[in-house]
Chain A
Amino acid sequence: MHQIADVEVAKNIMDANKKLAHKNLHKLEDNGIFCVDFVGAIGSGKTTLVEEIIDNTDYKIGVLAGDVISKFDAGRIEKHNVPVVGLNTGKECHLDAHLVGHGLADLPLDDLDMVIIENVGNLICPVDFELGSHLRIVVVSVTEGDDTVEKHPIIFQTSDVVVINKVDLADAVGADADKMVCDAQKLNPNVKVIKSSLKEGIGLDEIIAAIEEAMNS
């Protein structure tokens, strides 16, 4: 004989990641480190932006470079003589707090001012996964199409800074960079929006200033 029972589970599937994200944040703060998480699509310019920040500031920076497979981004950043850990997600479409926790364990935290996390190229899945950073910056290039911001509302609503990159190519690809700025501000009235062309040296100072403003607030 058997019986039927209704059993309460009440298990939040997102909690495990959230707890690890808070652990990461505490670990960073215990070491006096500010942490920035860069999200954006494949080819938006995240790695180049990380390289430019390393080369144009005096902060002691460590980098966690996320890729689905391979160590391409980690290899590029290594050439700038900073500690870098490549994080492979394998089949997954986002970094999670667990992977970031392992990455932090491999960085010399007692000798860093800032940790930059470069997420995998994706405007969708990273929304669900806090990593433990202080600031989230989403990078979107005009070459992705000027409807990209309005098509992916939540990542723009949940980021602190929006970088509209490759504005020098806007005319060539028929994109309206100002429309992307307006879309971001409409979706997230509190967000800071910066137009940039890293190739032309436009916008980098503003991006660094936005990071410093958050560091000092």
Chain B
Amino acid sequence: MHELSMAQGIINAVLDTAEANNATEVNEVTVEVGRLAMINPEQLQFILGVLIENTIMEDAEINFEEIPAEIKCYDCDFNGEAILDDKDHYAPMVKCPKCDSLNVETLNGKDIVVKNIVIEKPDDA
């Protein structure tokens, strides 16, 4: 259940930023989730909902943006977005779109990033 520690990390980042900007309420949170992070966004959403009760982000709309996997292919030197074969897996196999090789290095797509928040704050803050 490592959604729990991920969720806590997201909430800490949001509340720290909100506090630093004198927010009275957080309206929106946008989180980028890499397609290769071993996280299920639905479970993450559920646990976030539980953990934000009684905080200033309690009513925030939480949006997830999926970040595609980028790879470098060792076989054909392709550099860019990978084909994700996920017909049998939630966690996909990462393939080169040019030569179909699985012999690739993952450059991007494993991270979880709190991108931005929309807050309310007093006019004089």
Contact = CB atoms under 8 A, between A and B. Distances in A.
| Chain A interface residue number, banded | 35 or more
B109 to A, nearest CB: 11
Given A16-B9, A92-B5, A187-B93, A7 B119 contact: yes
B89 to A, nearest CB: 6
Nearest to A128: B38
Contacts of B9: 13, 16
A96 B8 CA distance: 15
Nearest to B85: A153
A181 to B, nearest CB: 15
Interface in B67-116: 74, 88-89, 91-94, 101-103, 110-116
A154 interface: yes
B29 to A, nearest CB: 8
Interface string A80-103: 000000000001111010000000
Contact of A153 (B14, B91, B101, B110): B91
B19 to A, nearest CB: 11
B113 A12 contact: yes
Interface string A1-16: 1111111111111111
B45 interface: no
Interface of B: 1-2, 4-6, 9-10, 13-14, 17-18, 21, 23-24, 27, 36-39, 74, 88-89, 91-94, 101-103, 110-123
